Amino acid sequence: MHGSERREQIIRQIQESKAPVSGTKLASLYSVSRQVIVQDIALIRAAGYEIISTNRGYILNQPKTVCRIFKVQHTDEQLEEEMNTIVDLGGCVDNVMIHHRVYGKMEAELALSSRRKVGAFMEDIRSGKSSPLKNITSNYHYHKVSADSEETLDLIEQELREKGFLVEERRQAV
């Protein structure tokens, strides 16, 4: 096994574990020395993963997020307001999805988590690079929205409802 493959597996092992994973256990799993694991952890950290060393082993500091899918409808003129409503309340517009009667489910990743990102997205739309996916389904579409808590998602849902964007359906958990 190459070092890069081992590091990917180490990340996965730490992510999926409910308890800290010791360096000794990792060394045994991958048939390498404890020193190799220490070096791998340093490289993993350098790649941007926030791995914390505890007296019981390694843990990965991952921000906890929750997700919810909202069915919405609005005009092109209201597009920016809809997305800014979500990001202003602490949400991230992860994607947009539609259900087309002929083509089925169509989805595009967005990852819009700030007004700056929403603005850049809107510039792309206004420049004519593309048109919103919602336009082929009479403005009906879905957004997967992530946030730090259910309370934040509840606030987003309430605000989308008050602005008339939310299409009332049974709420779907992700």
d(CA 170, CA 150): 16
Domain boundaries 3-60, CATH class: mainly alpha
DSSP classification of residue 135: G
d(CA 93, CA 113): 6
Answer whether 0.75 is exceeded by the pTM. Answer: no
**Does the annotation list 141 as a binding residue?**
yes
pLDDT of residue 173: 54
**Does the annotation list 99 as a binding residue?**
no
- CATH 3.30.1340.20 positions along the chain are 66-173
Q: What is the mean pLDDT of each run of 10 residues along the chain (174 residues)?
A: 91 91 96 96 91 92 85 94 98 94 90 95 88 83 94 97 88 53
pLDDT of residue 74: 94
Domain 66-173 has CATH 3.40.50.170: no
pLDDT of residue 163: 97
**Does the annotation list 74 as a binding residue?**
yes
DSSP classification of residue 19: S
pLDDT of residue 13: 94
Both structure tokens of 128: 């004519």
- CATH 1.10.10.10 positions along the chain are 3-60
